[in-house]
Amino acid sequence: MRQVISDQLCDFASIYDDDVELVSVSRPQADLCATLSKRLISSRQIPQLRWVQHADDSAAPGRALAATADAPLPDQISQASDMLGQLLGCARVGVRLETLSVPMCPRFHVDQVPCRLLITLSGKGTEWIPHGDVDWDVFADIETSAPPVRAEKQIQQLTTGHWSLLKGGAWNDSFSGVVHRSPRGVGERLLLSLDPIY
């Protein structure tokens, strides 16, 4: 399996390639969103927000965030939602925006969804292991806390600000999903995730 790292939104179409497990695309407003996200974290205005919106509803993020965020953050959510709708043919998108001070998912796992778009707006990015580098025996052992990574292989980390689309366990029968977890270490992060809803 391979990963596509790009600065072009059109490369998200690569997610349909059988040998692609993850597409991560840099975005031009990432630095500005990171600055705004740090402000939101320090203000304690967004502990956790969840909502479902139509994929092409550009006003939904603004309504959900009310007066807590400047324009670039709702705009980015709207653009990401619209991209998912066009790419995956879904009419609705589930949106989750959370401030995290401890790992939300500390154990390596696979999301049982077709795919998930993860955007770390501020803080450390999600950790993941390329499919061929996963030690599946360790992964299946619920008694161990050891990372399920093969010897001499490295745990990878998604870049803060990138839009990263990960195939999940429900993508199809031939791929079990990207193995990932919340990042190690201390520090708060603002995480945005979007799921297609059919």
Cα distance between residue 148 and residue 50, in whole Å: 30
Task: Express each pLDDT in 78-95 by its tens digit.
Answer: 999 999 999 999 999 999
* pLDDT of amino acid 117: 98
- For the chain, the average pLDDT equals 88
Q: Closest Cα to residue 175, out of 23, 19, 38, 43?
A: 19
Q: Which pLDDT value is given to residue 101?
A: 67
Domain boundaries, the chain: 2-197
Tell me: pLDDT of 32 over 90.
no
The model's pTM is 0.91
Q: What is the pLDDT of residue 47?
A: 61
pLDDT band of 122, cuts 50, 70, 90: confident
Written out in words, the top-level CATH class of the domain with range 2-197 is mainly beta
Which CA distances in Å does 1 have to 55, 64, 132, 148, 178? Answer: 29, 37, 7, 17, 10
